[in-house]
Amino acid sequence: MEDPTESLTSFSESLFATSNQQQQLGFMELLGISGSLQEEYYFSSPFDSMLPSSTTRGFTPSMTTSSSPAAEVLNNGPATPNSSSVSSVSSGGNGGGGAPNDHEQTTTYCDKSVGLGDDEEEQHDKTKKLEPSLMQNKGLLLCVNIRFAGSEEMIVDFWGLCRLKPKKTCEKKKKEREPKFAFMTKSEVDHLEDGYRWRKYGQKAVKNSPFPRSYYRCTSASCNVKKRVERSFTDHSIVVTTYEGQHTHHSPLMMPRPSPLTSRYSQGGSGRIPAGGFSHQLRTLTLPSDQQQQFNNFAPLNCGGYNSIVHTAANEPSLRGSQFSSRSPASSASIRGGDYGLLQDMVPSTMNIIKDES
DNA sequence: CGACTTTGACCAGCGC
DNA sequence: GCGCTGGTCAAAGTCG
């Protein structure tokens, strides 16, 4: 059976890597991250998308495999206690010089569920009770591989960005919450070092999962950022980290290790977090024009100078049943400096975001 | 001794 | 109203 993580990774890559057009799209525009977001955003679980399409609102991928020298496998070495032991397939390009992969995946997405308009959504809600996880899965939008630096190479997958529309019945009741962003990380360690200091304040057993969920709070006095860490019950190697809120301070563990790549980004940074203060590299992402439009259609909000991308992709024929061929060697896109600064608020600072300049 | 983790208790939201 | 679940609190324990 195909590894669902890999398959979804493949999909996400293909989303960005299928065109020769070099249109660039800011990463945070893709994410729709902004400090003034009023809704909760999630990166949906890939496994939600693997659920039967009759109940899933995400893509329903089907896959084939074939050989491709352009693909690569990362981090096949033994696990280290503090690093990922598992890796998913990354797209081609230099990407750190991984070995060629054995197979390429061509992913076909029958995203009948993606693109539900609000009306359609409501109709859907009326007729079918959805699991909470499925509710989050209103469209797989984005998946980015991030690698840890050096020997602690790791792949982090950003899964589809979804908007969780609050139920109308509880709109008034629910207290306003900070925007949430979830990251799925293949890792053996639950609590990934992300440059900030966290204090664990709770742990709860999760329903339908043998793994407990841990609750952390940023130890900075004025910072009320929280994060939840739990393991995916469908793939125990995946750690789901959900961040809530935005840091009001710089990373206390930030170690300035400027590199040519990071210094480049530091020039265009937002100033939010000094780009040179991280050893990040950005893997460029390119979105073909039609797909960029697709992502732009996910962006009804324009907050803080960033066009957020979250939107139901209603009536988007470009994604319906579209077939993406991954491992395009021409894959690249850019994450602009300002977006990058915001990204660093979200992404563990020990991760390297691979910049693919091929 | 301070910072952090552990863990049981408590509370609120939600569905039935 | 009741029970389930998620989220948080706080006392106790651990560690450097």
How does pLDDT run across A213-230, given as a tens digit for each residue?
999 988 877 777 888 888
A218-262 pLDDT tens trace: 887 777 788 888 887 777 778 888 888 877 777 665 544 333 333
Asked if A7 and A136 touch (Cβ cutoff 8 Å), the reply is: no
Positions of chain A with pLDDT under 70: 1-179, 251-358
Q: What is the dihedral of CA A121, A126, A129, A132, to 10 degrees?
A: 40
Is A204 (CB) below 7 Å from strand B? yes
Angstrom distance, A204 CA to B8 C1': 11
Is A126 (CB) below 7 Å from strand B? no
Contacts of A305 (CB under 8 A, 6+ apart): A34, A338
Angstrom distance, A252 CA to B1 C1': 22
Q: How far apart are CA A49 and CA A56, in angstroms?
A: 6
Measured between alpha carbons, how far is residue A264 from residues A104, A131, A193, A261, A281 in Å? 32, 44, 24, 5, 10
Phi-psi region at A227: left, alpha or beta (left = phi > 0; alpha = psi -120 to 50): beta
Asked if A355 and A285 touch (Cβ cutoff 8 Å), the reply is: no
Q: Is A285 helix (H, G, I), strand (E, B) or coil?
A: coil
Chain B nucleotides covered by protein, CB below 7 Å: 3-9, 13-16
Q: What is the CA radius of gyration of chain A?
A: 19
Task: Provide the whole-model pTM.
Answer: 0.45
**Residue A211 CB neighbour total at 10 angstroms:** 16
A146-159 pLDDT tens trace: 333 333 333 333 43
Chain C nucleotides covered by protein, CB below 7 Å: 4-10
Angstrom distance, A204 CA to B11 C1': 15
Is A177 (CB) below 7 Å from strand B? no
Task: Specify the pLDDT at position A177.
Answer: 58
